[in-house]
Amino acid sequence: MSVADSTTADLGLPEEKVAELAIDKNDNVEKESDDEDGEEEEEGAGEGEKTQKKKRKNKKKNKKKKKTGLGAAGQTSPPSIPVSQLFPNNSYSVGQICDYVDDNKYRTTSEEMRAKDRLNEQQLVDLRRAAEVHREVRQYARSVIRPGMDLTTIAELIENGTRTLVEERGFESGIGFPTGLSINHCAAHYTPNAGDFVEIKEDDVLKVDFGVHVNGHIIDSAFTMAWNDRYKPLLDAVKDATNTGIREAGIDVRLGDIGAAIQEVMESYEIELDGKVLPIRPIRNLCGHNIGQYLIHSGKSVPIVANRDQTRMEEGELFAIETFGTTGSGYVQEEGVCSHYAKTSDGQPRLPSAKKLLHSITKNFGTLPFCRRYLDRIGEKQYYLGLRHLVDQDIVTAYPPLVDIKGSYTAQAEHTFILRPTVKEVLSRGDDY
């Protein structure tokens, strides 16, 4: 099967999309067939006609074909070729397409909705480019991450790969947020600070959460890795729950209803550890979210348990559905040394060192989240006092690690999708998950 056919099948495109691709291929076959018929006619013609038709045939041969690029199959290992070179003319892969149902079914064929869809073409190009970077970086990362590697090496592997493939250019393209590498009972918001060389162990459960942006349009996707098969039910639970949330999501759908569907699926799983059968619970105070331009959390939260939130999803919104399962209490709290930060207001600090640091944060990250390693990378030194002042003044928000009870294990699965006027597109979907 060709690369294009494989991508279509694996991403679960609807029959209509597959049919469109098939029509294009048939058109090419018909053109080739017409050329062959023309050659047969030439054999029965006179010498003069033969010469003229031969010239015409040669002209057809010399006609340049449109450059389509190698696609993801042309990537190196480790990845080093920017995706814009593999997918020229913005020919990035379309995500998983899900047709709307029930009251929104008309949208799929509505000419009015198609016209609205075309207005967002550049945003879709940006998101698909970021999604392609995410898929290629994570494919390599999943193939090399293993016990014995330290978290700093893993973080730099992912982040340097992202910078290369997206052709990092400040606010034009780059990393969406610091790479989350949370182990076991730590569910989220852990990335190594300088000098942190914690190593993965054979029995660890590792959550890998990273983001890519193009023009501020962020792809946020996460997966969980484990090297002991006993954790498979936990990993399966979050994958199933996330896919359920994506399936239930749509225009005018209530957020609380999505949470109820996710909770029902998550709680249908259990796991046996050390001779004990444990329930798998959703972590009730973690949730998905909508995403704005240069804003990883843009106001709406998608719960992973049932609640009475009547807020609805709306046309054009970009969401990250992420679910967290745990063998612990189902509730996380802040604990440990903080590494994640984001500028969340435009206040003016009083401390001179804080003013200088704020200028650097605004210039390099804007409202995109950052971590201490990123401050080190841009040359900031002795910044902790100024950073602390910015947090105390509510200009920068700190996001410490989030942990369940010690001895428990947590897992995460996450995808980004957009509610287009005509269809729901799961942008970060890939062959892996």
Assess whether 264 carries a catalytic annotation.
no
| Per-residue model confidence (pLDDT) at position 58 | 46
What pTM does this model have?
0.84
State the CB neighbour count (10 A cutoff) for residue 12: 13
Structure-token pair, residue 403: 């942990």
**pLDDT higher than threshold 70 for residue 53:** no
Assess whether 20 carries a catalytic annotation.
no
> Which DSSP helix (H) or strand (E) runs through 424?
strand 423-426
Q: Which residue has the higher pLDDT, 319 or 55?
A: 319
Token pair 């990845």 in the structure block, residue: 79
Structure-token pair, residue 199: 């190593």
**How large is the average pLDDT for residues 245-269?**
98
Work out the angle at residue 10's Cα, subtended by the Cα atoms of residues 6 and 11, and round it to the nearest 5 degrees: 120
Diameter over CA atoms, the chain: 93
| Per-residue model confidence (pLDDT) at position 188 | 98
| Per-residue model confidence (pLDDT) at position 24 | 40
Q: How far is CA 21 from CA 16, 88, 335, in A?
A: 9, 19, 51
**pLDDT higher than threshold 90 for residue 166:** yes
Per-residue pLDDT band for 221 (boundaries 50, 70, 90) equals very high
Task: Say which of 248, 414, 415, 425 is annotated catalytic.
Answer: 414
Task: Say which of 42, 156, 167, 297 is annotated catalytic.
Answer: 297
What is the distance between the alpha carbons of residues 172 and 10, in angstroms, rounded to a whole number?
Answer: 30
**pLDDT higher than threshold 80 for residue 217:** yes
Task: Say which of 126, 132, 136, 220 is annotated catalytic.
Answer: 220
Residues in the chain: 433
Assess whether 47 carries a catalytic annotation.
no
**pLDDT higher than threshold 50 for residue 57:** no
**pLDDT higher than threshold 90 for residue 44:** no
What is the distance between the alpha carbons of residues 57 and 8, in angstroms, rounded to a whole number?
Answer: 34
Assess whether 376 carries a catalytic annotation.
no
Q: Which of 37-46, 271-280, 412-421 is least confident?
A: 37-46
| Per-residue model confidence (pLDDT) at position 71 | 84
| Per-residue model confidence (pLDDT) at position 263 | 98
Ramachandran region, residue 378 (left: φ > 0; alpha: ψ -120 to 50; beta: rest): alpha
| Per-residue model confidence (pLDDT) at position 236 | 98
Rg value, the chain, Cα: 25
Q: What is the dihedral of CA 219, 121, 303, 414, to 10 degrees?
A: -30
Share of the chain above pLDDT 90, in %: 83
What is the distance between the alpha carbons of residues 303 and 228, in angstroms, rounded to a whole number?
Answer: 29
Report the chain's mean pLDDT, rounded to a whole number: 88
**pLDDT higher than threshold 90 for residue 31:** no
| Per-residue model confidence (pLDDT) at position 102 | 93
**How large is the average pLDDT for residues 188-209?**
96
- The pLDDT tens digits of the residues spanning 347-401 come to 999 999 999 999 999 999 999 999 999 999 999 999 999 999 999 999 999 999 9
Task: Say which of 134, 185, 289, 340 is annotated catalytic.
Answer: 289
Please give the single-letter amino acid code of residue 250: G
**How large is the average pLDDT for residues 213-230?**
98
| Per-residue model confidence (pLDDT) at position 234 | 98
**pLDDT higher than threshold 90 for residue 342:** yes
Structure-token pair, residue 158: 């992912």
Task: Say which of 126, 136, 159, 209 is annotated catalytic.
Answer: 209
* Strands annotated E in 166-216: 173-183, 186-188, 205-214
> Which DSSP helix (H) or strand (E) runs through 391?
helix 384-392
- The DSSP line for 217-273 is EEEEEEEEEESSGGGHHHHHHHHHHHHHHHHH--TT-BHHHHHHHHHHHHTT-EEEE
Assess whether 220 carries a catalytic annotation.
yes
**Contacts of residue 431, Cβ cutoff 8 Å, sequence gap at least 6:** 10
What is the distance between the alpha carbons of residues 410 and 232, in angstroms, rounded to a whole number?
Answer: 12
Q: Can you state the angle between helices 3-10 and 15-43, rounded to 10 degrees? A: 160
**Contacts of residue 405, Cβ cutoff 8 Å, sequence gap at least 6:** 185, 328, 329
**How large is the average pLDDT for residues 75-85?**
96
- The DSSP 8-state label assigned to residue 308 in this structure reads -
Structure-token pair, residue 424: 């729901």
**How large is the average pLDDT for residues 155-171?**
98
**pLDDT higher than threshold 80 for residue 332:** yes
**pLDDT higher than threshold 60 for residue 178:** yes
Strands across the sheet containing 186-188 = 186-188, 402-403, 333-334
Assess whether 150 carries a catalytic annotation.
no
**pLDDT higher than threshold 90 for residue 227:** yes
> Which DSSP helix (H) or strand (E) runs through 392?
helix 384-392
**How large is the average pLDDT for residues 21-29?**
37
| Per-residue model confidence (pLDDT) at position 34 | 44
**How large is the average pLDDT for residues 116-135?**
96
**pLDDT higher than threshold 70 for residue 45:** no
Scored b (16 or more CB within 10 A) or e, 91-104 reads ebbbbbbbbbeeeb
**pLDDT higher than threshold 50 for residue 25:** no
**How large is the average pLDDT for residues 10-15?**
37
**How large is the average pLDDT for residues 167-180?**
98
**pLDDT higher than threshold 50 for residue 6:** no
| Per-residue model confidence (pLDDT) at position 72 | 87
Task: Say which of 240, 322, 380, 425 is annotated catalytic.
Answer: 322
| Per-residue model confidence (pLDDT) at position 106 | 95
